[in-house]
Structure 1
Amino acid sequence: MKPSGSLLKIISEDLMPVTEIDIRALAEIYAEENVYLSVYLPVSRENEHVNRVFVNSRVGAIKKVLPADLRPEFEKTFDMAEELLFEPAVSGERGRIIFASAPDSFLHVYRLAVEPEKSLVLDTSPFLLPLARLRADYEDYGMLLVDSREARFVCIRSDIAEEKKHLSTDLMKKHKKGGWSQMRFNHLRKEAIKSFFSEVVENVQGTCDELQTRGLVIAGPGEAKQELMDLLSQDVRQSVLGVIDVAMDISRDELVEESDSVLHENELSTSKKKADELKNAILKGGLAVAGVEDVRNALEQARVNVLLIVKGSSVPGWICERCQNLQANTRPPEQCDRCGGPTSSVNIVEELYELAQRTGAEVEFIEQRDFLDSDDAVGALLRY
């Protein structure tokens, strides 16, 4: 399907969280010939020479094998992207993704605060698997940094820290000499802290609902974190990914690093739970399948609730660019045996991921397990 007018040109001038890229809309785009160029590059002054060597090598290799009738269009497409590939980085930029197609007048440029693995691919559609892996690694989450005097709510999106709320209280530090007794003052101070925490909780719950983050990391010194946890509603408490001890004056970079480690541990735990759920469902004859063929069939029938992909897996195969007939572990025939349309070699895992996006399935990347390895590559928890 060709891209719609609103999707034809997107060029980000500032850093963009990977979760803000409309991967579902990109997954809907495909052509009958190899006209879509996808480039993922790490961005820094140190990487520039290495990037140029890599890009020139890949472009040369593509030109050698591309049919003569497609070379002019590829050269036009690369001309669209080349200058943008090597533009100077904006502040904080560590990676760049470009999708381009001259025949479809299509150009997307995304500047990232995270570093992608180098890749340059010419295909019948935008190459989305590296973007999917980045999205799995860098989900949006909230960080609440709190002590008894101050609270800061920071939303962390692809290592971009955006402060959303900043609350503080003077806790009655100033009072007249000879006024309240120490006991009276301590009691009022505790009430002020409790009132402050109640205000923080109200703001946190509203902000979490508004931002639709994956979860919340609570951080800070001392016992304030636990006092605040006790006041959270059950729903918000269940969304807490972890609690960590840090100083209130921690730098933004250190804050991102500390909270990312919590998120990583949580993701490993979630992936393991999904993998165990898949294994148990298969053992008991439940709503689950494993292996490329069964998963492909379930996706084509829109039966998949969660698609599980073994990290780093790849399965060769082919696809018909007309009817989307998808076949694994076999070389592409001259024409599709279903509709007679043109065929091309593909990574089946990439195609299954795109099919999951089109059918609204959740996607989870998991570590290799004894019952699901790089040969099987995929499994699925089913809706029915």
Structure 2
Amino acid sequence: MKPEMSFRQITPEGPVSVTDIDLRALAEIYAEENVYLSVYLPVSRENEHVNRVFVNSRVGAIKKVLPADLRPEFEKTFDMAEELLFEPAVSGERGRIIFASAPDSFLHVYRLAVEPEKSLVLDTSPFLLPLARLRADYEDYGMLLVDSREARFVCIRSDIAEEKKHLSTDLMKKHKKGGWSQMRFNHLRKEAIKSFFSEVVENVQGTCDELQTRGLVIAGPGEAKQELVEMLPKDIQQNILDVIDVPMDISGDKLIEAGDSVLQEDEFESSLNRSKEFKGEMLKGGLAVAGVEDVRNALEQARVNVLLIVKGSSVPGWICERCQNLQANTRPPEQCDRCGGPTSSVNIVEELYELAQRTGAEVEFIEQRDFLDSDDAVGALLRY
């Protein structure tokens, strides 16, 4: 399917979060021939020479095997992307993704604050699996940095820190001789802290309602953060990923590093739980299937609730670019046995991922050691 006119040109100037990239819309795009160029590169001065060598090597390899009738279109597509590939990095940019197709006047350029693995692919559709892995690794989450005087709510989006709220209060200083009694002073100070925390709770509730994040990390020095946790509404408490000790003057980079460590641990536990759920369903003959063929059939019937993909997996096969007939572990025939359309070699895992996006299924990347004692690269938890 060709991209909508409004979706053909996207070139934001600054770094974006991977969660801002519309994977579902990208997964809807495909052509009958190999006209979509996808490039993933880390971006820095140190990477520039390595990137040029890598790009030149891949472009040369593609030209050697591309049919003569498609070479002019590929050269036009590469011309669209080439200058953008090697532009100097903007502030905060560590990676760049480019999707381009001259025949469809399609050009998307995404500057990222995280580094992707190098990849350059020419295919019948945008190559999305590396982006999907990045998205799984860098989900949005909130961080509340708090002590008894100050609170900062920061949303971490692909290692981009966006401050949403900053509250502070002027607590009473240590009282002078002849002033209030110590007991009276301490009581008033506690009431001031409680009032401040009540304001923080109200703002956290409003901010969390506005954002769609994986969860919330509570951070700060001392015991104040734990007092605040106890005041938070139950629904927010249930979404707390962890409570960690950090100083209030922690640098932005260190704050992101601490939050990412929490998120990675939560991701690991989530993946492990999905694997256990999947194995349990398989053991009792429940709502789960394994293997490319069964998973493909379930996806085509929109029965998949969660697609499980083994990290780093790849399955060779072919697809018909006309009717989307998908076959694993076989070489592509000259024409599709279903509709007679053109076929091309594909990574079946990539195609299953795109099908999951089109049918609204969740995707979970899991470690091989947590999956099955077999060579299966994919499994699925079913809706029915």
| TM-score bracket relative to the smaller structure | over 0.9
Deviation at 1:371, TM superposition (A): 4.6
Does the CA-based 8 Å contact 2:149-2:169 persist in structure 1? yes
- Paired residue for 1:242? 242
Deviation at 1:174, TM superposition (A): 7.5
Does the CA-based 8 Å contact 1:310-1:372 persist in structure 2? no
SS at structure 2 position matched to 1:63: helix
Paired AA for residue 351 in structure 1: E
Distance 1:338 1:238, change over 3 A: same
- Paired residue for 2:289? 289
SS at structure 1 position matched to 2:89: coil
Q: Is 1:202 paired with 2:202?
A: yes
- Paired residue for 2:352? 352
Does the CA-based 8 Å contact 1:141-1:156 persist in structure 2? yes
CA distance in 1, matches of 2:327, 2:235: 44
- Paired residue for 1:20? 20
Give a deviation string over 1:157-176, Cα, whole Å, max 9, x none: 00000111001111123767
Give a deviation string over 1:335-363, Cα, whole Å, max 9, x none: 00000000000000000000000000011
- Paired residue for 1:50? 50
Distance 1:255 1:370, change over 3 A: closer
- Paired residue for 1:264? 264
CA distance in 1, matches of 2:225, 2:133: 32
Deviation at 1:12, TM superposition (A): 1.4
- Paired residue for 1:85? 85
Paired AA for residue 61 in structure 1: A
Does the CA-based 8 Å contact 2:35-2:123 persist in structure 1? yes
Q: Is 1:113 paired with 2:88?
A: no
Distance 1:373 1:313, change over 3 A: farther
TM-score calculated relative to the size of structure 2? 0.98
- Paired residue for 1:375? 375
CA distance in 2, matches of 1:370, 1:141: 25
SS at structure 2 position matched to 1:14: coil
Does the CA-based 8 Å contact 1:143-1:153 persist in structure 2? yes
Q: Which residues in structure 2 correspond to 1:202-351 (within 5 Å)?
A: 202-351=202-351
Structure 2 segments unaligned to the other structure (5+ residues): none
Does the CA-based 8 Å contact 1:368-1:374 persist in structure 2? no
Does the CA-based 8 Å contact 1:317-1:346 persist in structure 2? yes
CA distance in 1, matches of 2:84, 2:175: 61
RMSD (CA atoms):
1.1
Give a deviation string over 1:306-350, Cα, whole Å, max 9, x none: 111110000000000000000111111110000000000000000
- Paired residue for 2:165? 165
CA distance in 2, matches of 1:266, 1:186: 39
- Paired residue for 2:76? 76
Distance 1:374 1:39, change over 3 A: farther
User: Structure 1 residues 301-310 or 369-378, which shifts more?
Assistant: 369-378
Give a deviation string over 1:227-273, Cα, whole Å, max 9, x none: 01111111101101111100000000000001100000000000000
Paired AA for residue 72 in structure 2: P
User: Structure 1 residues 175-184 or 35-44, which shifts more?
Assistant: 175-184
Paired AA for residue 261 in structure 1: S
What number of residue pairs does the alignment pair up? 384
Identity of aligned residues (%): 89
Deviation at 1:212, TM superposition (A): 1.1
SS at structure 2 position matched to 1:380: strand
CA distance in 1, matches of 2:361, 2:373: 21
CA distance in 1, matches of 2:210, 2:160: 18
CA distance in 1, matches of 2:207, 2:162: 12
Distance 1:174 1:222, change over 3 A: closer
CA distance in 1, matches of 2:44, 2:374: 33
CA distance in 2, matches of 1:106, 1:374: 40
CA distance in 1, matches of 2:216, 2:15: 22
TM-score calculated relative to the size of structure 1? 0.98
Deviation at 1:369, TM superposition (A): 3.1
User: Structure 1 residues 258-267 or 194-203, which shifts more?
Assistant: 194-203
Structure 1: which 4+ aligned runs deviate by more than 4 Å? 174-177
Does the CA-based 8 Å contact 1:288-1:380 persist in structure 2? yes
Does the CA-based 8 Å contact 1:310-1:374 persist in structure 2? no
Q: Which residues in structure 2 correspond to 1:96-111 (within 5 Å)?
A: 96-111=96-111
Paired AA for residue 264 in structure 1: Q
Structure 1 segments unaligned to the other structure (5+ residues): none
SS at structure 2 position matched to 1:47: helix
CA distance in 2, matches of 1:196, 1:270: 34
